[in-house]
A and B are shown apart, each in its own frame.
Chain A
């Protein structure tokens, strides 16, 4: 599947298989994982991701289509996990397979940057106490993944 939002764990092996095709000389696969950052209230143990699902899926499909057109990507994967994602697990995978490496790097970079910029997804960190960090810290710590 080219794009997906799922509550299930994301598989890098499955993403690599989805990018396989004869004649494609450059394959780039990016995975963003939840970091167990330390905050004043303890270590981040998970991130809760929520989405505006219908609109998010449309945006993911549009981004994938643009990557195909702009960079000549023959295969694309753009997957994001939603719900609670524990530390050290993968929250997002963006990958592209092209004829050559330069286009593959550019396409993968475009996929992840555009996802972060324009797909309605939000994250809330959960620290070890099981509570959300205060809002000010949550904003700053919004960089704990990807």
Chain B
């Protein structure tokens, strides 16, 4: 059976730093806090760490203001570096 994962989508500078558009982070069946997923993401892709410090984490279409939220297998997170529209 394939391991349970949370897919983390990477935009702009995050994608450039990791050289890919998403990373699948393995999680236990009960899920993990968003904070722990972000930590594991940084371990998997050390080049992402500086970008993660300046980025917002989005769950679906909601900004996570507290990274204590539990994220279940199959859910998605996004890494949003500082915005630059206009």
Binding site for B on A (CB under 8 A): 32, 49-52, 54-55, 58, 80, 91-92, 112, 115-124, 135, 142, 145-146
User: Which of B11, B13, B61, B86 counts the most chain A CB atoms within 10 A?
Assistant: B86
Spell out B's residues near A (CB within 8 Å).
9, 11-13, 16, 58, 61, 78, 80-81, 83-86
Interface residue from B61, B81, B83 paired with A116 (Cβ < 8 Å): B83
CB contacts (< 8 Å) of B80 on chain A: these are 52, 120
Given A52-B58, A55-B58: A124 and B85 interface contact (C-beta under 8 Å)? no
- Asked whether, in the complex, the Cβ of A52 is within 8 Å of the Cβ of B11, the reply is yes
**Contacting pair B11 A146 (CB below 8 A):** no
Complex Cα distance A92/B81, Å? 20
Whether B78 and A52, one on each chain, are in contact in the complex, defined by CB atoms closer than 8 angstroms, is: yes
Given contacts A52-B80, A58-B61, contact A80 B85 (CB under 8 A): yes
